[in-house]
């Protein structure tokens, strides 16, 4: 990831130095953190929310499924906050949100959302 980013930034710098317009694609990233996920769900930007089952104290996330239902955002409860943490390169994560899906993955993502609902 780091080497790809370095190459991408170097290419953008060369193009900018040559006077060309630089177009950059927004990278697809997984969002995490209760406050950030709450904001994304309220804004309607979250497309899928994954919540860990072993959050302690449970009051941190007990309201999140109700918010997701209210805002028509699909959510799933995943076994283990350590698994979610591995996705975002942290020790643990209580919840994750997907905001952008690549075009080639949209069909697979829609099947996943239907299975979750």
Domains and CATH numbers, the chain: 29-99 (3.30.1330.30)
- Residue 45 reports pLDDT greater than 90: yes
The per-residue pLDDT of the chain, averaged, comes to 90
Report the C-alpha gap between 116 and 86 in whole angstroms: 21
- pLDDT for position 116: 86
Per-residue three-class SS string for the chain = CHHHHHHHHHHHHHHHHCCCCCCCCCCCCEEECHHHHHHHHHHCCCCEEEEECCCCCHHHCCCHHHHHHHCCCCEEEECCHHHHHHHCCCCCCCEEEECCCCHHHHHHHHHHHHHHC
- Residue 77 reports pLDDT greater than 80: yes
Share of the chain above pLDDT 70, in %: 98
- Residue 25 reports pLDDT greater than 80: no
């Amino acid at each position: 990831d780091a080497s790809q980013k370095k190459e991408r930034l170097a290419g953008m710098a060369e193009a900018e130095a040559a006077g060309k317009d630089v177009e950059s694609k927004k990278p697809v990233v997984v969002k995490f953190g209760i406050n950030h996920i709450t904001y994304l769900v309220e804004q309607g930007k979250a497309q899928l929310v994954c919540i860990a089952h072993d959050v302690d104290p449970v009051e941190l996330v007990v309201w999140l499924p109700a918010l997701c239902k209210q805002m028509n955002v699909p959510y799933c409860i995943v076994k283990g906050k350590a698994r979610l943490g591995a996705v975002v390169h942290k020790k643990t994560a209580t919840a994750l949100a997907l905001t952008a899906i690549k075009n080639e993955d949209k069909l697979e993502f829609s099947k996943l959302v239907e299975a979750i609902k």
